[in-house]
Structure 1
């Protein structure tokens, strides 16, 4: 079972920082305290788990090392999380980002990550995010093992992975939906409708995505082969985080799909150009942006082929 282990290491000495971390992460599906009973039924429909525990011995001035983390799971039948994330004295000092110390479960890479970035990665964890974690390790490495005489406070100037998410005016945060949402199997790329107030506008969005740039020139194209349009009222009012949490990979690992999910929300239906929200599921997970509907089809095709990356399209964000 893919998952993340979140550890509180301050022994209860800084409740404000700990509660702030949990608040930023949100009420994530599959989240439970260590040793909690009755989780198996919930996990049947949630392909990931987030275990929250207290382990004061792994914090303080004597930080845990990758070797110590690996040794803690070196026993028969032990569940091995994809990521171990723990509070650190820096978590309490840096009230803006609340950085957490993280270890990749695959090879023990250590890096700094924010609570919101941890939460967004968790929502897509079942897809396999080893390359994403490698990117975090390059972006915000924890360098206390490099032999340098470096005071802990010196690291405070280094931005953790996900710093931009913590400083946004509209930071992402998962909240449980009012009702259980359907699972979205990604056999092709998906465009999920979450606003149902204007059927004509929705029809225009679908047409623009299908026909691409040709829509303005009365040229017939059809990207419908690559995009499934999800017109299900069950998703009315769903947030981007709720939608991304429901996406599951298709049965064919060779399917040509991008690592994103597209959303047609209120802004999409009402604004000129019908800008759809692009929600990354692997690279840049959590950092959503918008593109006009008429380029969405060609975008997902190029992303799937590897001809372009998200940064090439983020520049068009209105």
Structure 2
């Protein structure tokens, strides 16, 4: 796979969605339409999304996506529209934690983190993208809060409350 291009022009307030699967154009259009819907308890919030729809990203792994988007210091989460997104009825995107994994954990102080590492990814419906992005951007909640909520749901997918 080629080196993935740097994401340019993303507004700091925009959720980043990267398409990595190009097998189902109708499913992709449905994802984009769903994520463009106003959000919030009464649909009172406008959406801010930066969509990357470039075949150079086709087949990119989560690791490759993370390695590329970590260049954006203002970004805390990226949403990936992969094959599972396109094949599922709920079009759940893969949410990836941008924070670099702690490589220098000290067993003397960090044994709990070593024994039980935090979730680094989860699935979220397009309707949940904005809540996740907004709350992580202002540090109102942590990535693990959303990951735990997703894992607690029967199908492992985060939906808006």
Q: Distance in 1 between matches of 2:59 and 2:100?
A: 25
Q: 3-state DSSP class of the match of 1:297?
A: helix
1:222 maps to 46
Deviations 1:45-85 (A, max 9, x none): xxxxxxxxxxxxxxxxxxxxxxxxxxxxxxxxxxxxxxxxx
1:307 maps to 140
Q: How many residues align?
A: 130
Q: Distance in 2 between matches of 1:312 and 1:258?
A: 17
- The 3 A distance-change label for structure 1 pair 220 and 201 is farther
Q: Which has the larger radius of gyration?
A: 1
CA RMSD of aligned residues (A): 2.5
- The 3 A distance-change label for structure 1 pair 278 and 212 is farther
CA contact (8 A) 2:39 2:127 kept: yes
Residue of 249, 257, 266 corresponding to 2:72: 249
1:290 maps to 123
TM-score by length of 1: 0.37
TM-score by length of 2: 0.69
Superposition deviation, residue 199 in structure 1: 1.7
Give unmatched runs, 5+ long, in structure 2.
Answer: 103-118, 157-161
Superposition deviation, residue 284 in structure 1: 6.0
**Mapping for residues 204-215 of structure 1, pairs under 5 Å:** 204-211=30-37
**Mapping for residues 23-102 of structure 1, pairs under 5 Å:** none
Q: Distance in 1 between matches of 2:28 and 2:46?
A: 17
Does the alignment pair 1:180 with 2:3? yes
- The 3 A distance-change label for structure 1 pair 258 and 298 is farther
2:150 maps to 316
